[in-house]
């Protein structure tokens, strides 16, 4: 029963860490897709800049092209926090806050994606990283701090990494504490100094590496339950291990392992609730700002309908005047006959 329960705990550690890492992998996939779409939009804006500039120089109307460019810039703003300005040639220059120029007149910066060989700015090993050069090792991923891309990077490198670090710390501390007590005990045949779990050298990845020792896997008789050899019924060492559940050996002796794990779950719940509340507030602000923008630069359906009605009435009136003039002219011609 002890061995099977311990194996179930090991499986839970492995499963939870694997599931969190899977979520992190999905975030990398989304970063990859968003970054490629941002590059494509920047390339299209660059092309439109050239066409709009040429049309302006030739004195042609470029309203449709400018509308397309504005629509693309609006979409780009969902991925990153950017600022824009127009030059004298009617070209738009776009700069990503904290990163640098993205589109400068007829040129566009393309961001490149690669895998980091080691931890960079708190990001996990082999995580997706952004650089300005396809062969560069100078990563600028952490400089994206807003928009969809910034949110994904922060979630991956801070929120998820924090969960994994704390989970690893719990697995490492449990392994170390149980082994420390188990080594002092004696098995039914008098052996001592045996590990209950395989020893772990480092905290990183402990939740995925934790496993029962081969001694315990091979025989339940290698579970050291006694504090002295050849003492049938001595279960003091087993009780000492069981008492670890209520012992304060986590967070420098401040909390129990139950409290430590519950705090991980609680922090995730609090962060989720806080983010949902912030999302609702941001959506409300966005709706208000879009209304203000539409009032300044948008098209009012009611206003356009009123204008169409005015044009229609003016056309009807003009048609009536022409009809009356035609009838009068016909009457004059008939008089002369």
Going from the C-alpha of 274 to that of each of 118, 142, 269, 271, 300, the distances in angstroms are: 32, 22, 9, 5, 36
C-alpha 329/C-alpha 325 separation (Å) is 6
Structure tokens at 73: 């810039």
For the entire predicted model, the pTM comes to: 0.77
Query: H-helix or E-strand containing 307?
Result: helix 301-336
Pairing of strands 92-96, 82-86: antiparallel
- CA dist 194 and 276 (Å) reads 49
Return the pLDDT at 313: 86
pLDDT of 119 reads: 57
The answer to whether the CB of 116 falls within 8 A of the CB of 123 is yes
Q: For all residues of the chain together, what is the average pLDDT? A: 89
* Pick from 3-12, 97-106, 285-294, 297-306: least confident: 297-306
Residue 171 pLDDT more than 90? yes
Per-residue pLDDT tens over the stretch 199-230? 999 999 999 999 999 999 999 999 999 999 98
| Residues 178 and 198 sit within 8 Å (Cβ to Cβ) | no
Q: What is the mean pLDDT of residues 164-176?
A: 94
Q: Provide the pLDDT for residue 96.
A: 93
Alpha helices in 120-182 (DSSP H): 147-154, 161-182
CA pair distance 174, 266, nearest whole angstrom:
20
- In the predicted model, what is the mean pLDDT of residues 8-21? 94
pLDDT score recorded for residue 308:
86
pLDDT category at 164 given cuts 50, 70, 90 is: very high
Phi-psi region of 126 (alpha: psi -120 to 50; beta: other; left: phi over 0): left
- CA–centroid distance for 316 within its chain: 59
Instruction: For residue range 89-123, list pLDDT tens digits in order.
Output: 889 999 999 899 999 999 999 999 888 765 555 56
* Highest averaged pLDDT of the listed ranges 81-90, 191-200, 308-317: 191-200
Q: pLDDT band for position 298 (50/70/90)?
A: low
Query: How far is CA 27 from each of CA 31, 76, 167, rounded to the nearest angstrom?
Result: 6, 19, 19
The neighbouring-strand residues paired with 115 are 128
What pLDDT, in 10s, does the model give residues 226-281? 999 988 889 999 999 999 999 998 888 889 999 999 999 998 899 889 888 988 99
> Do 218 and 211 form a contact (C-beta atoms < 8 A)?
no
Q: What angle do CA 138, 27, 209 make, to 5 degrees?
A: 90
């Amino acid at each position: 029963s002890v061995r099977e329960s311990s194996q179930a705990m090991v499986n839970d550690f492995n499963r939870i860490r694997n599931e969190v890492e899977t979520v992190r992998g999905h975030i990398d996939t989304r970063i990859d897709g968003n970054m490629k779409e941002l590059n494509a939009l920047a390339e299209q804006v660059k092309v439109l800049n050239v066409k709009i500039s040429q049309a302006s120089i030739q004195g042609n109307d470029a309203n449709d092209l400018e509308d397309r460019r504005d629509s693309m810039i609006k979409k780009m703003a969902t991925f990153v926090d950017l600022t824009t300005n127009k030059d004298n040639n009617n070209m738009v220059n776009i700069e990503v806050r904290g990163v640098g120029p993205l589109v400068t007149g007829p040129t566009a910066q393309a961001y490149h994606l690669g895998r980091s060989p080691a931890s960079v700015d708190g990001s996990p090993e082999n995580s997706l990283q952004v650089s300005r050069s396809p062969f560069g090792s100078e990563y600028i991923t952490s400089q994206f701090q807003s928009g969809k891309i910034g949110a994904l990077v922060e979630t991956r490198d801070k929120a998820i990494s924090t969960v994994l670090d704390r989970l690893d710390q719990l697995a490492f501390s449990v392994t170390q504490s149980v082994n420390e007590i188990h080594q002092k005990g004696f098995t039914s045949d008098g052996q001592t100094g045996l590990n209950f779990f395989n020893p772990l050298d480092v905290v990183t990845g402990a939740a995925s590496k934790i496993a029962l020792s081969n001694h315990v896997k091979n025989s339940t008789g290698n579970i050291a339950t006694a504090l002295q050899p050849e003492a049938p019924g001595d279960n003091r060492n087993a009780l000492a291990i069981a008492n670890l559940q209520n012992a304060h050996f986590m967070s420098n002796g401040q909390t129990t392992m139950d409290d430590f794990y519950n705090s991980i779950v609680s922090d995730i719940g609090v962060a989720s609730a806080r983010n949902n509340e912030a999302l609702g507030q941001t959506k409300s602000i966005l709706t208000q700002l879009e209304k203000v923008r539409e009032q300044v630069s948008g098209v009012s359906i009611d206003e356009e309908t009123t204008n169409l009605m005015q044009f229609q009435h003016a056309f009807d009136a003009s048609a009536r005047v022409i009809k009356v003039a035609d009838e009068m002219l016909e009457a004059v011609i008939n008089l002369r006959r």
